[in-house]
Structure 1
Amino acid sequence: MDLPVVAGVDGSEESLRAVDRAADEAALRGAPLRLVYASLWERYEGSLIAQEVGRPVEEVIARDVMGAAERRAHRRRPGLVVTTAVLAEEPEAALVNESSLARLVVLGCRGRGGVAELLLGSVSLSVAAHAHCPVVVLRGGPEEPAAPGRVVLGVAGKGACPAAVRFAAEEAALRGVPLEAVRAWRRPAHTTAGHPPLTGAPAPAQEEAAEALEEALRDLPDGLRAQRRTAEGPARDVLVDASRDAGLLVVGVRRRSGRFGPRLGRVAHGVLHHARCPVAVVPEPA
């Protein structure tokens, strides 16, 4: 079965960027593209039916939006196989369900900062927290969604992110760009930055970070350009800084169970809100 790349569509400019990015991802992989519009219009429309067509008003609008998105995808990538689905479901549930038979889900994000970012990114956050396949959330400015640039991989620790490493390596190879693996580290609370344990020697935490990078990248495919970098500071801040001139930031997540079900860790949650480039959230096996 040829698994598709799925894009969530709602008619917004951000979702149209997602269509562009998803079309590029599908073309790179030789995969079909599936466009999904989901909304519980029946709950809100009630008996307000468009009598002329015998369907809920929002369903009519949704199909118009979907038609425009399909034409956009074909213009961007002629010859691409495109399928569409207009679903009377909650967007989060529909996209998570679609992810079980997808190789990638691509979503736009309307957040622009502050409270608006927290409120308007709810669908993207929910899908990233529950999806069965990697999810790419478009962040940053309105530049070309598939803009060239290195792929940055956030390495959480020794043996912590094999699925994310594989995904990041594939993305870098598909685009012919370097892979930069980054591992953040912190000094012990009793050690100040100005007085390391041994002058001129790396701190133990820095050495451990370098070892984690080597272990994570030991099975990279031959010929892939890979850089390794350790940086002192909170992982979220280090990765957000690395995203400033990157084409894609990749983080692996082992979902944590909380009061309301699976949720993202602090680092993945933080970079989804603040990264300056698209973010790929890759689920790791439990």
Structure 2
Amino acid sequence: MTIPLVVGIDGSAASLEAVDWATDEAARHELPLHLVHAAAPHHEAIDLINAASDRARTGAPKVRLSSEVLYEDAASALVDKGRNAFALVLGSRGLGDLAGMLLGSVSLAVAARADCPVIVVRGGAQYRDARFGSVVVGVEDGEGSGTALEFAFREAHVRHCRLVAVHAWSAPFGGPPEPSPRSGYALEAHLQPPTQVLDDALRGPAERYRDIPVSRRVVEASARQVLLEAASDADLLVVGARRRHGHLGLQLGLINHAALHHAPCPIAVVPQR
């Protein structure tokens, strides 16, 4: 049985934009689409999900479609659904969010706790309609970006577009760190050229997706700034998230928080496996 792409809806304009985006995404990946409305009991719930289902069916008649209403906390319900999902798709703002919020509280909570990729649909129509032909992925030191890279390459593959891999770096203040008494790892990690960090990370997935044109960007600057600038002409921004040791959920960090709040395009937060 193919796991579905799950989209959370609450009747807001942002959630309906998420339905449209998720419908196209399900068609690209040939996935079933499952619509979920989770809220306190009210008589409009069935009408709301039926209207969203009609919208999805009109957008992609061949996509297998299902839906359900869950009368429980929205974030918890969506996180639970994400345990058996290709990804969770959410709008950037909900009905109950304050006017000044940059990102809805439910979307942020789900992005921080879900086991599967969480895609927050941001940006204007030009970013939601895949007009730029580009997927941007952030690459960090070490192995933390492996799952995000696989996701990004797969997205570029089904979209028939290019991949832009971005690695931002900065030299530590005061020069390279001292090696630990047991090994010289810290010094070696600092001395590894940033271009080598990116090349090493890309080598495996690039071999598996030879059809994808890849652009490499290595920039000495703030990662938040570099990623947001790269996303200004992208259809999707992909970032990785590490597991928190000894705690449930993910370590989103300052970079991911900035991307979730300010990305000009849809953003996928991909948990590290």
Q: Please give the TM-score of this superposition, normalised by the length of structure 2.
A: 0.86
Match in the other structure for 1:239? 227
The structural deviation recorded for 1:144 is 6.1
Pick closer, same or farther for the CA change 1:265–1:256 going to 2, 3 Å. Answer: farther
Match in the other structure for 2:268? 280
Match in the other structure for 2:136? 152
Sequence identity (%) = 45
What secondary structure does 1:180 align onto? strand
Match in the other structure for 1:62? 45
What secondary structure does 1:7 align onto? strand
**Mapping 1:1-286, distance limit 5 Å:** 1-41=1-41, 58=42, 60-110=43-93, 116-118=100-102, 120-143=103-126, 145-149=128-132, 150-190=134-174, 208-219=193-204, 220=206, 221-256=209-244, 262-285=250-273
What secondary structure does 1:153 align onto? strand
Match in the other structure for 1:49? none
Aligned partners of 2:197, 2:137: CA distance in 1, in Å?
A: 13
Bigger-Rg structure (1/2): 1
- Unaligned regions of 5+ residues in structure 2, if any? 176-188
The structural deviation recorded for 1:160 is 2.0
Aligned AA for 1:14? A
Q: Residues 36 and 84 of structure 1 are in contact (CA less than 8 Å); yes or no, is this contact kept in structure 2?
A: yes
Pairwise CA RMSD: 2.2
Pick closer, same or farther for the CA change 1:174–1:85 going to 2, 3 Å. Answer: same
Aligned partners of 2:48, 2:191: CA distance in 1, in Å?
A: 51
Pick closer, same or farther for the CA change 1:215–1:276 going to 2, 3 Å. Answer: same
What secondary structure does 1:97 align onto? helix
Pick closer, same or farther for the CA change 1:166–1:260 going to 2, 3 Å. Answer: closer
The structural deviation recorded for 1:256 is 2.6
- Give per-residue Cα distances to partners, 1:222-266, cap 9 Å, x unaligned: 121111111121111111111111110000100336989654221
Point out the more displaced range, 78-87 or 136-145.
136-145
- Unaligned regions of 5+ residues in structure 1, if any? 42-57, 192-203
- Give per-residue Cα distances to partners, 1:134-176, cap 9 Å, x unaligned: 1110112244623232000000113221110100000001101
Aligned length: 253
Pick closer, same or farther for the CA change 1:260–1:281 going to 2, 3 Å. Answer: closer
- Give per-residue Cα distances to partners, 1:57-112, cap 9 Å, x unaligned: x1x2111110110000011001211100100010100000000111011100128x
Q: Residues 154 and 250 of structure 1 are in contact (CA less than 8 Å); yes or no, is this contact kept in structure 2?
A: yes
Point out the more displaced range, 147-156 or 86-95.
147-156
Match in the other structure for 2:185? none
Q: Residues 4 and 103 of structure 1 are in contact (CA less than 8 Å); yes or no, is this contact kept in structure 2?
A: yes
Aligned partners of 1:75, 1:64: CA distance in 2, in Å?
A: 17
Pick closer, same or farther for the CA change 1:239–1:206 going to 2, 3 Å. Answer: farther
Aligned AA for 1:24? D
Aligned partners of 2:197, 2:127: CA distance in 1, in Å?
A: 33
